[in-house]
């Protein structure tokens, strides 16, 4: 069989090409990929005033709508020069990035008529079913959350609720700050998100989301002002974020579909609730989540999993995390647990989800309460690993201890003396290189390092596990 001429030429030339490339390997040539074309439009050119008094909604939306849509597709930066831009809901479209410059604030309105009729579209900034969108610029998006406080209370503020309108029910009827719903290629970076009236940054049914160098601030006494809620979304990266807020800081949820491939790294967190919490909305699967190099400071709960609706969790790793947890008022969920892993039905009609292949590696914690690991009869915790951990238990607040917290649903608050690790309904738990220290605090009854019933906990492995008292400085 005769080899075709084109193939003969390729066979002769290929070695020469490889030799040429090898000779240049010591000084590789950097290939500059062309940047996608972009344009910039300023909201002030479309009539925005930026005085914080008059609404600039129409001018902002006109700027967004003026971004090019015909080929070639280009990124359109909608620029906000220094100023305060009061607005009702604005809607992003594909290939639009809000460039809120340093010294500029996008200020959310506080009136019901500032938002769409549908409660699930109450956002200051909303992107729906679009792609290649984002927010950046070094400025601020502010939801004026304090104007939604009905009564200030150091324990927990009482908030305004727009439920009398019938648009929604309950006491959480307030607008969120920023929402991306059904979007692809979302990017939020170099921006401050401040004072949400409800959830701050909401990622819903999105693919390929990148959040970095973002500062989030919510009033420490206000409920429901979550930092970042990731819902039914896949391929999400969160890094170098600073989150200081009242409610849950980073909160993956599953309502209508699974959540895969979430990575969170290099973040600082302070909250009166959970720093990281999977759930409690958990109807579908969580799989492939990584949390690494995170500092958790003065929080009510450190690393939490609240599985209540039948979804399963698997292949989750927490590593290189420093945790400080303390008691706050019991109206907030949590009892100062550094690690909290629970599965139980939300109510009598709920299913029980399971948690498996869960790793905690290189964890250091100082807390006022112990670790709580509680599966359920139909929702076991299996294949858990604690590797290279230092747990220090002491007391420094005056709140009453002696309770475990199953909320939401399940058993609620239950009397139980403090223990290093409380375990229920577990199949397979490996503990290796774990050092547990206890203060000699006389007013707290530290019962024992490991608290469990053999009838519900099986296959525990202990390697190099230490537990000892230390003298607490007054």
Q: Which pLDDT does position 148 carry in this prediction?
A: 97
The secondary element (H helix, E strand) that includes residue 427 is: strand 426-439
**pLDDT tens profile 197-220:** 999 999 999 999 999 999 999 999
| Res. 441 pLDDT band, cuts 50 70 90 | low
Mean pLDDT (the chain, rounded): 91
Q: Which pLDDT does position 412 carry in this prediction?
A: 87
| Res. 350 pLDDT band, cuts 50 70 90 | confident
| Res. 15 pLDDT band, cuts 50 70 90 | very low
CA angle 374, 377, 383 (to 5 degrees): 55
- Using alpha carbons, list the distances in angstroms from residue 43 to 28, 79, 114: 44, 6, 19
Q: Which pLDDT does position 86 carry in this prediction?
A: 98
Mean pLDDT over residues 443-449, rounded? 71
- Phi, psi of 17, deg, nearest 5: -65, -45
425 with 381: CB under 8 angstroms? yes
Q: What is the DSSP string of 146-196?
A: GGGEEE--SS--EE--GGGGSSS-SS----EEEEEES-EEEEEEEEEEE--
Q: Which pLDDT does position 17 carry in this prediction?
A: 38
Distance CA 268, CA 244 (A): 8
Tokens of 387: 């590797």
Identify the burial level of 121 via C-beta atoms within 10 angstroms of its C-beta, where 0-12 means exposed, 13-18 middle and 19 or more buried: middle
The sign of the dihedral angle between the CA atoms of 7, 9, 15, 19 is negative
Distance CA 116, CA 147 (A): 19
Tokens of 72: 């070639």
Which of 80, 75, 93 minimizes the C-alpha distance to 45? 80
CA atoms lying within 13 Å on the CB side of residue 242: 7
Cα-based torsion angle of the residue sequence 63, 64, 66, 67 in order, rounded to the nearest 10 degrees: 130
| Res. 470 pLDDT band, cuts 50 70 90 | confident
298 with 271: CB under 8 angstroms? no
Name the DSSP class of 63: H
pLDDT at 5 over 70: no
How many angstroms from the chain centroid is the CA of residue 451?
30
| Res. 442 pLDDT band, cuts 50 70 90 | low
pLDDT at 109 over 60: yes
Give first-to-last CA distance, the chain, whole Å. 91
Q: Which pLDDT does position 14 carry in this prediction?
A: 37
**pLDDT tens profile 21-43:** 344 434 444 444 455 567 999 99
pLDDT at 4 over 70: no
Where do runs of H (alpha helix) occur along 28-162? 57-65
CA angle 385, 388, 391 (to 5 degrees): 95
**pLDDT tens profile 222-274:** 999 999 999 999 999 999 999 999 999 999 999 999 999 999 999 999 999 99
**pLDDT tens profile 268-316:** 999 999 999 999 999 999 999 999 999 999 999 999 999 999 999 999 9
Q: Which pLDDT does position 48 carry in this prediction?
A: 98
């Amino acid at each position: 069989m005769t080899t075709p001429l084109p193939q003969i030429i390729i066979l002769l030339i290929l070695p020469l090409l490889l030799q040429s490339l090898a000779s240049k390997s010591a000084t590789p040539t950097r290939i500059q990929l062309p940047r996608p074309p972009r344009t910039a439009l300023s909201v002030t050119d479309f009539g925005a005033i930026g005085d914080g008094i008059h609404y600039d909604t129409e001018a902002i939306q006109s700027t967004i709508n003026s971004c090019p849509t015909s080929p070639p597709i280009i990124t359109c930066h909608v620029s906000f020069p220094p100023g305060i831009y009061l607005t009702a809901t604005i809607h992003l479209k594909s290939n639009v990035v809000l460039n809120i410059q340093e010294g500029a604030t996008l200020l959310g309105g506080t009136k019901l008529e500032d938002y769409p009729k549908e409660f699930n579209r109450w956002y200051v900034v909303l992107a729906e079913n679009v792609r290649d969108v984002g927010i950046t610029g070094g400025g601020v998006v502010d939801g004026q959350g304090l104007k939604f406080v009905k009564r200030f209370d150091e324990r927990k503020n009482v908030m305004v609720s727009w439920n009398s309108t019938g648009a929604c029910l309950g006491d959480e009827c307030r607008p969120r700050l920023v929402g991306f719903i059904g979007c692809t290629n979302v990017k939020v970076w170099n921006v401050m998100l401040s004072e949400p009236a409800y959830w701050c940054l909401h990622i819903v049914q999105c693919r390929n989301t990148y959040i970095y160098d973002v500062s989030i601030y919510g009033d420490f006494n206000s409920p429901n002002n979550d930092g970042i809620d990731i819902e039914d979304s896949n391929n999400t990266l969160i890094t170098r974020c600073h989150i200081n807020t009242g409610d849950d800081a980073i909160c993956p949820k599953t309502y209508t579909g699974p959540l895969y491939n979430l990575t969170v790294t290099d973040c600082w967190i302070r909250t009166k609730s959970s720093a990281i919490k999977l759930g409690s909305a958990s109807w579908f699967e969580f799989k492939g989540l990584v949390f690494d190099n995170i500092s958790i400071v003065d929080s009510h709960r450190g690393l939490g999993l609240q599985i209540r609706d039948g979804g399963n969790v698997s292949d989750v790793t927490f590593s290189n995390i420093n945790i400080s947890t303390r008691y706050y008022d019991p109206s907030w969920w949590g009892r100062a647990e550094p690690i909290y892993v629970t599965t139980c039905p939300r109510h009598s009609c709920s299913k029980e989800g399971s948690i498996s292949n869960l790793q905690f590696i290189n964890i250091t914690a100082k807390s006022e309460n112990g670790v709580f690991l509680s599966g359920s009869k139909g929702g076991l915790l299996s294949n858990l690993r604690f590797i290279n951990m230092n747990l220090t238990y002491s007391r420094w607040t005056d709140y009453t201890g002696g309770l475990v917290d199953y909320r939401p649903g399940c058993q609620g608050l239950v009397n139980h003396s403090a223990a290093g690790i409380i375990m229920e309904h577990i199949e397979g738990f490996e503990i290796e290189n774990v050092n547990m220290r206890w203060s000699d605090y006389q007013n707290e009854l530290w019962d024992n390092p490991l608290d469990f019933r053999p009838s519900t906990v099986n296959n525990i492995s202990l390697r190099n596990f230490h537990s000892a008292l230390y003298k607490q400085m007054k």
